[in-house]
Amino acid sequence: MNKTKVAIIGPGNIGTDLMIKLMRNAQHLEMCAMVGIDPQSEGLNRASQFGFYTVDNGLQGLVSHACWQDIKIIFDATSAKAHYGHWDIIKDFPDKRIIDLTPAAIGPYLVPTVNFDESHNVRNVNMVTCGGQATIPMVAAVNQVAKVHYGEIVASISSKSAGPGTRANIDEFTQTTARAIESIGGAEKGKAIIILNPADPPVVMRDTIFTLSDEADRSAIIASVQSMVEDVQSYVPGYSLHQEVQFESIPEAQAVYIEGLGKRYGLKTTILLKVEGAGHYLPPYAGNLDIMTSAALATAEKFVQNLN
């Protein structure tokens, strides 16, 4: 079977983990090239040792390389600022797609289990955030049963798994995730909070999802949530419910005020998750990074399957 050739821009921890996942797990994809800007990059050196093409003068260097014509999907694991320049180059090559793991969000947000069908023809898709990839499927699962008025998520990640890029983009994380809770998850209003947990030894990623929806059959919500968990587990095996789904009825007389919506009442649903990484390159506690690379890989696999 001929596999679709792919390249990764950004040989850091995320790009390297994605490379290892492509080598171990990809069914329809073939790692071809790693792109960076530092000749001394450890990630570039590792990619070279595995026998892949390496480029140390940026995407423009890959474009001038003989392998460029064979590459159909590019993963961008750099920064939002750099992604704008990368897209300016790639958009002129109609046979290529880019999967954006940065906060740039030039293209639409994509969570593989929730809205792939809406974005399968888009050439530039954005993987939202780690918190978004973990929690939006849960908001969507509730919304499949009862209209969600408000969705709030709290993502707790190990401080050791939050590098300089994550720390510099905390505001972007909360804003992007909140928008995606609304646009993909289906909530009328979304809110996101991130906590950097300094515990040592490091703890795995934990996520808490609160939704306020219309009253509905609670067993139907539980079934929808469990089904969605299984869907995400197909590409993130360490994704699981940490506790049973919890419910609380909020009567009209005790309606809560939600900024931008006014007073709302109905069914409060609480979902608690944990996300443990596969440990391919990043440590298992870095589930927040693992779910991003896993979601990006799953998206690329779906792109190829959709074309066949």
Half-sphere exposure of 18 (CA within 13 A, CB side): 36
Closest CA to 62 of 46, 44, 80, 79: 44
Tell me how far apart the alpha carbons of residues 63 and 7 are, in angstroms, rounded to a whole number: 11
Residue 56: both structure tokens together: 């140390």
Closest CA to 295 of 277, 274, 308: 277
Angle at the Cα of 27 (from 275 to 140), degrees rounded to 5?
A: 40
Describe the crossing of helices 218-233 and 112-119 by its angle, rounded to 10 degrees.
Answer: 80
Residue 230: both structure tokens together: 């299984």
Which helix (DSSP H) or strand (DSSP E) does residue 170 occupy? helix 170-183
Distances (CA, A) of 266 to 153, 213, 261: 18, 6, 14
Tell me how far apart the alpha carbons of residues 139 and 190 are, in angstroms, rounded to a whole number: 10
- Provide the annotated active-site residues: 130
Closest CA to 273 of 64, 133, 149, 177: 133
